[in-house]
């Protein structure tokens, strides 16, 4: 009798656990479908929402989910550690992945990163002319260790990660209007044109750095004199295309 009661008790205890697991899976599935609808206007969940007349729920959530978490991503100028009489320089926005570094997966060590040739001179030189900002779609816990190894002298003044970007049509987009700096004094160096599609005229597009064994890459070194001229107010509009072609 005692054995039967023990078995019955075990079965009764297992039933709530199974129900909890099922409820958890259903909740996770529902949440995933909802988020899918928010980030993809052509997804089945969004199409179903349109048919059911509840698309406004997705639109309301997506408005906050897909946009930067704050209005001003950078502090006001002058910053507390900058003398008040120093004017705001041009702002140089740099991408990380395949622009400054190459990332590759190693079965033994996991993700490994290689600096693009010339990156040290690039940063040390242009820090004299620009306020340097790194904007990356990576999560901070993934990108911060890479940046710490890349920029040991801390030439990069600000880091903006995924939560500071727009999410548009499956792409994390850099909205320069959120940087709290004059947009006409911002230059972006990036290998992905879509990542700067809100401000294409500010972009100098470079070829992606995809081969860590290519130590003859001159992309960043070629950009230095161009960007120095831009910082002095020499023909930014005409130099953008020139920079892209020469850097490539």
Q: Is residue 75 part of a domain?
A: no
pLDDT tens, 174-187? Answer: 999 999 999 999 99
Q: What is the mean pLDDT of the chain?
A: 84
Backbone angles phi, psi at 41, to 5 degrees: -65, -20
Is the torsion defined by CA of 169, 172, 178, 182 positive or negative? negative
Whether 51 and 163 share a structural domain: no
* Predicted TM-score of the model (pTM): 0.74
**Is 67's pLDDT higher than 60?**
yes
Orientation of helix 236-247 relative to helix 219-231, angle to 10°: 170
Query: Could you report the per-residue pLDDT of 142-158, keeping only the tens digit for each?
Result: 999 999 999 999 999 99
Residue 168, pLDDT > 90, answer no
Q: Are residues 110 and 185 in the same domain?
A: yes
Q: What is the dihedral of CA 61, 70, 185, 222, to 10 degrees?
A: -80
pLDDT in tens, 69-124: 789 999 999 888 888 888 999 999 999 999 999 999 888 888 899 999 999 999 99
Whether residue 93 contacts residue 181, with contact meaning beta carbons closer than 8 Å, is answered with: no
How many Cβ atoms are within 10 Å of 149's Cβ, its own excluded?
11
Question: Does residue 213 sit in the same domain as residue 134?
Answer: yes
* 94 and 177 co-located in one domain: yes
Q: What letter does residue 44 receive in the DSSP assignment?
A: H
């Amino acid at each position: 009798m005692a054995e039967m009661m023990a078995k019955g008790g075990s079965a009764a205890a297992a039933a709530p656990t199974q129900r909890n697991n099922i409820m958890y899976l259903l909740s996770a599935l529902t949440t995933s479908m909802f988020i899918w609808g928010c980030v993809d206007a052509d997804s089945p969940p969004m199409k179903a929402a349109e048919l059911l007349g509840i698309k406004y729920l997705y639109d309301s959530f997506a408005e906050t989910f897909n946009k930067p978490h704050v209005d001003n991503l950078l502090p006001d100028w002058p910053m507390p550690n900058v003398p008040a009489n120093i004017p705001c320089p041009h702002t140089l926005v740099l991408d990380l992945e395949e622009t400054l570094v190459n990332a590759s997966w190693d079965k033994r060590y996991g993700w490994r990163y290689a600096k693009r040739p010339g990156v040290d001179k690039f940063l040390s030189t242009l820090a004299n002319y620009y306020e340097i900002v790194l904007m990356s779609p990576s999560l901070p816990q993934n990108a911060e260790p890479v940046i710490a190894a890349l920029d040991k002298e801390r030439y990069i003044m600000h880091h903006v990660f995924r939560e500071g970007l727009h999410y548009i049509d499956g792409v994390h987009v850099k909205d320069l209007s959120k940087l709290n700096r004059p947009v006409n004094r911002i230059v972006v160096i990036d290998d992905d044109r879509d990542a700067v599609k809100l401000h294409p005229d500010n972009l100098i597009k470079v070829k992606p750095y995809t081969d860590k064994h290519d130590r003859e890459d001159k992309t960043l070194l070629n950009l230095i004199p161009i960007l120095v001229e831009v910082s002095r107010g020499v023909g930014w509009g005409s130099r953008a295309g020139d920079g892209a072609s020469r850097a490539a």
